[in-house]
Amino acid sequence: MFHVLAQMANLLLPLVKGARVVYLETLNTTELLRALQHARITVFAVVPQFFYLIHERIFKEVGKRGKLCRVHFGARYDAHPSLPP
């Protein structure tokens, strides 16, 4: 039953509404960013692993950019009320 719900939410309902459905062959941040830009994706249904990959990539990039960037990012992150500590 779960698979039917996923198919309805991710494939059939968007097609009924005239939306385009885009599937990625691999799930990595490079392919995701490319798809978001080229396919002009505005809405997506994903599993929690998706958000973990995005979170991981953001923190990896911030870590590469030096102490000033890390401090600035950390201060802005800490100041946002809806982000986890």
- What would the pLDDT profile of 22-48 be if each residue is shown by its tens digit? 888 887 778 888 888 898 888 777 778
Residue 58's CB: how many other CB atoms inside 10 A?
13
Residue 23: its pLDDT value, please?
Answer: 82
Quick check: 10 and 45 in contact, CB under 8 A? yes
- The residue among 56 and 9 whose pLDDT is bigger is 56
What letter would DSSP give residue 23? -
Rounded to an integer, the average pLDDT of 40-65 is: 84
- Structure tokens that stand for 8 in this block: 């309805």
Query: Given a cut of 70, is residue 85 above it in pLDDT?
Result: no
Q: Mean pLDDT of all residues in the chain?
A: 82
Residue 64: its pLDDT value, please?
Answer: 92
Instruction: Please give the distance of CA 46 from its chain centroid, rounded to a whole number.
Output: 8
What is the rounded CA–CA span in Å between residue 16 and residue 55? 32
Query: Given a cut of 80, is residue 72 above it in pLDDT?
Result: yes
Q: Percent of the chain, pLDDT > 90? A: 6
| Burial of 20 per CB tally in 10 Å (0-12, 13-18, 19+) | exposed
